[in-house]
Structure 1
Amino acid sequence: MTSIFERALGAEFARLHPMMQRRFGVGLSSGEACIGTGEMAIIRRGPWWTVPFLQIGRLRNILIPDVGTQVPFRIENFPYRDPFGRETVTFVRGYDIHGRQRRFDATMILVGDRIVDYLGTHQHLAVDLDLTVDDEGGLVLTSDAQRFYEGPIAFRFPMLFSGRARLRERFDERDGRFHIDLEVHNDRFGFLFGYRGSFTCDWIPASDAPPRLKPRRHERRH
């Protein structure tokens, strides 16, 4: 059995840099978790009118309203099986910005050959991800359709009121670090949020995620 990312990428997975293969090989079959620690060189946001939008996201650990440079950063990728029997990998990011602790919570599952990224503490948003491997062995994740779930309410989230994310992650042999670059844009209003940084990783044995990293509610719909 392979990781959800290897299954989603198929033969393309072999084009990833070997360190990227290990990082995105985290899963129940690998029996290990990946913990990255480093620094965001910059965290930035769009114009002033984006702040209320980002503040709303902050309440459920979906977006970060703060900006900063040289921000300490941590990402924790643990595999676990959710209450519906789906293999899940946590992507929980923590930031220490001007003494304030911020989190960006995400959990990912595989549906067919597509990765679905649940965002937030209650998996309110389900986002389809397109995965590609670039010429440097890096992984590019681009967000696509988004769906909102809350109790009996379910609807496709209008992209006019949301953003499309493009994240590129790669490993640089010159400094032995993973490098990450994210930008979120709205189709009409332009740049909303982004960050750029680097980190190193440690792998530890794991067959479950700590409760503190799991969402407070798991959403069956995807």
Structure 2
Amino acid sequence: MRTESPSPSPSPSSIFRTAMGEDAFARLHPELRRRFSVGLASGELCVGRGVMDRIWHSKGLTRHLIRPFLALGSTRNILLPRTGRDVPFVIENVPYLDSYGRETVTFVRTFRLPGGPRRFDATMVAGPAPGTVLDYLGTHQHLASELRLSAEPDGSLLIRSGEHRFREGPVDVRVPALVGADAEVRESFDERTGRFRIRVRVVNPYVGPLFGYEGSFTASYASVRSCGVRPGLRPVREEARA
């Protein structure tokens, strides 16, 4: 694994750059532009290593209501059933062509929680609607979320989720707001520390915040051709429906 500086010009064919558009992508901090230029055209993969300062769940009655969903989701590497502080983690962003010929980028996060590691898996492809990225969650891509990315005035990246769909066999239904949730991800680069900062909040429109995490990490880059996609990184099942 190697780290290079200064950052090169981002690839014009990154799925994230395409979704954001040229003007918005250019407003991101240069280090974010490089991270979100990971793709087949750039030929780079990115691995981030750092610490989550806090992984939290909602409190009170809401915590008891969501606990079964968190436990169930964790069986397919969706969501995190446990909380913690100062939790080491790794995020792997590796591009590849999936079984349907779509450029895909992994967002596989491994958290070294007490009692053993937990994974939160996602794979992203270009969304069906202009300006979107489709985020498949879990080992079997049962859940699909539409994402929109935007640049903040300080050069950070804001990602907001839109419609969520559940897919299994012939079933393809929209997840109702009552049991669904909206995710907001903010990623920035701290020039003082040379680290990326990440903050994630998942909120239900009826009961409020459900869970989230925040922390920081450093990133290293390597050649996809040289390293490939390691075993266990790709989902078990791939969903054809976009």
Q: Same fold (TM over 0.5)?
A: yes
Hey, what's the Cα distance between the residues in 2 that align with 1:209 and 1:80?
7
Number of corresponding residues: 222
Q: Secondary structure at the match of 1:181?
A: strand
- The residue matched to 2:68 in structure 1 has which SS? helix
1-structure distance, mates of 2:231, 2:26: 32
Which of 56, 78, 83 is the aligned partner of 1:62?
78
Residue aligning to 1:100: 116
Q: Which residue of 1 aligns with 2:7?
A: none
The aligned counterpart of 1:163 is 181
Partner SS for 2:67: helix
Which stretch of the first structure deviates more once superposed, 111-120 or 34-43? 111-120
Q: CA RMSD in A?
A: 1.0
Percent identity between the two aligned chains: 50
Which residue type is aligned with residue 136 of structure 1?
Answer: D
Contact 2:131 2:148 in 1 (8 A): no
Q: TM-score, normalised by structure 2?
A: 0.89
Partner residue of 1:148 out of 166, 174, 190: 166
Aligned to 1:213: 233
Give 1:32-181 correspondences, 5 Å limit: 32-46=44-58, 47-111=63-127, 112-181=130-199
Aligned mates of 1:163, 1:156 — CA distance in 2: 12
Residue in 2 aligned with 1:29?
41
Distance 1:88 1:81 in 2: 6
How far apart are the structure 2 equivalents of 1:209 and 1:30? Answer: 15
Amino acid paired to 1:118: Y
SS in 1 for 2:46: strand
| Structure 2 unpaired stretches of 5+ | 1-11
Instruction: Kindly provide the CA deviation profile for residues 151-204 of structure 1, in whole angstroms up to 9, marking residues without a partner as x.
Output: 111111112101110000000100000000000011111111100100000001
Q: Distance in 2 between matches of 1:206 and 1:126?
A: 26
- Considering fraction of residues, name the structure with more strand: 1
Deviations 1:34-69 (A, max 9, x none): 000000000000123221111111111111010000
Q: Which runs of 5+ in 1 are unaligned?
A: none
Q: How far apart are 1:113 and its partner, in Å?
A: 3.0
Give the letter aligned to residue 64 of structure 1: L
TM-score normalised over the length of structure 1: 0.97
